Amino acid sequence: MLEWAALLIVIILLASAVAVLTVRNPIGAVAATSVVSLGVSVLFVLLHAPDVAMTEAAVGAGLSGVVLALGVRKNAKWEMPA
């Protein structure tokens, strides 16, 4: 059962990584990057490394997602709706 869950997570990771490279919307690419980080953190939980999983979720998905979104906004590739 654990192998099937890990395989499903890896498939989601690969699909999200391809989405990062192919999506035209920069915010969509940032969201897909966060999905990759969350998937990796779930894999770490399945591998019984909860401390690494919490760090990956906080830094990889949380902080990096915010920094990337702010960078896209600062670069004027994305405007806030009025």
pTM of the model: 0.83
Q: Would you state the pLDDT for residue 74?
A: 85
pLDDT along the chain (82 residues), means of 10: 89 95 90 93 93 92 90 74 58
Identify the DSSP state of 49: -
Q: Would you state the pLDDT for residue 61?
A: 86
Q: Would you state the pLDDT for residue 22?
A: 94
Q: Residues of 7-36 as b/e, b for ≥16 C-beta within 10 angstroms?
A: eebeeebeebeebbeeeeebeebbbbbbbb
Q: Would you state the pLDDT for residue 31?
A: 92
Q: Would you state the pLDDT for residue 2?
A: 82
Q: Residue 81 CA to chain centroid, in angstroms?
A: 24
Q: Would you state the pLDDT for residue 77?
A: 62
DSSP-derived 3-state class of residue 82: coil
Q: Would you state the pLDDT for residue 1?
A: 78
